[in-house]
Amino acid sequence: MNQLEYTTHQDVFSSYCLYRYEPLVPFENKYRSVNLLYHSFDLCQVNERAFELVQALRKAIGMSCTVWGAKHSGDRVSWEFYFYDYRREEREISISRILEVIKPFIPCEVRANGNQPYFMFSIDIDDDLISGSRDLETIHMYIGNTASTFSSGISYSLTSKGTTLENFYFFFDPKEHMNDMLNKVFCSAHIDPTLVTVDEIVWPELRKCRTICLANKQRNDCIYFSGIDIDQFIFFLRRMNYPGEIISFMERNKSKLDHLQYDVGLDYRMEGKNLVFLKSGYYGVF
């Protein structure tokens, strides 16, 4: 692993939506969440340019301004980097700016319309992309869904061929809107409510959290639990059968990681009569 990074009194902490939160316990001289990203890079023996890309983005837009996600689907591991600027048309962190920053590492011919009111965008990262075996062909752009009663967003894929609708996202405060959220789970074309209980999707062990997000995607649905503690996070890793090295890293360094609030996500759908989890992920910032 690259040299471990430790928190200082100047560190700030943000969720996967880049909203600030207060650490759960005193945090100085503990691990930053980027160490989990580095650990996943090492496990996958990713090209060294991945570490250099992290530093280039930090230098360009600042520390703790980029959200990362580590995604697991079967034996495949990939990553996603997310960039937020809630000022929308007044934004400083634009698609064009980030593409210029990553150009030495990742060429991309996709262009975006800077007049559109997107508040975030993301790029998928894997070893082939980092090593230069392929160019970046898709950017995911997110725009607010102002017609929704709850906080909501819509994502689109941008490619050289055009723009395609991808996903709808709806955010719920489980302390205030648990019933609304539970009802939303079964408002889906991917679930048969006569064959699945809500506890199989909205895990009771993770319901004590800050926010639950439900997403309707093209081929499946997704649930995100945001603001869980380290014990809940380890539970998630175990239940989803993550590699033992990831679980042991968390358990071994629990006293260095217990200040963080964790965000996790699960893609799921019915296949025949069975509920299947297709992919999962966890998030942090650098």
Judge whether residue 74 has pLDDT over 90. no
pLDDT tens digits along 15-45: 999 999 999 999 999 999 999 999 999 999 9
Judge whether residue 147 has pLDDT over 90. no
| Mean pLDDT in residue range 247-261 | 98
3-state secondary structure the chain: CCCCCECCCCCCCECCCCCECCCCCCCCCCECCHHHHHHHHHHCCCCCHHHHHHHHHHHHHCCCCEEEEEEEECCEEEEEEEEECCCHHHCCCCHHHHHHHHCCCCCECCCCCCCCCEEEEEEEECHHHHHCCCCECCEEEEEECCCCCCCEEEEEEEECCEEEEEEEEEEECHHHHHHHHHHHHCCCCCCCCCCCCHHHCCCHHHCCCCEEEEEECCCCEEEEEEEECHHHHHHHHHHCCCCHHHHHHHHHCHHHHCCCCEEEEEEEEEECCEEEEEEEEEEEEC
User: Residue 1 — pLDDT band, cuts 50, 70, 90?
Assistant: low
Judge whether residue 148 has pLDDT over 90. no
Q: How far apart are CA 233 and CA 23, in angstroms?
A: 15
User: Residue 149 — pLDDT band, cuts 50, 70, 90?
Assistant: confident
| Mean pLDDT in residue range 64-92 | 94
Q: What is the Cα Rg of the chain in Å?
A: 19
Sign of CA dihedral 25, 29, 33, 39: negative
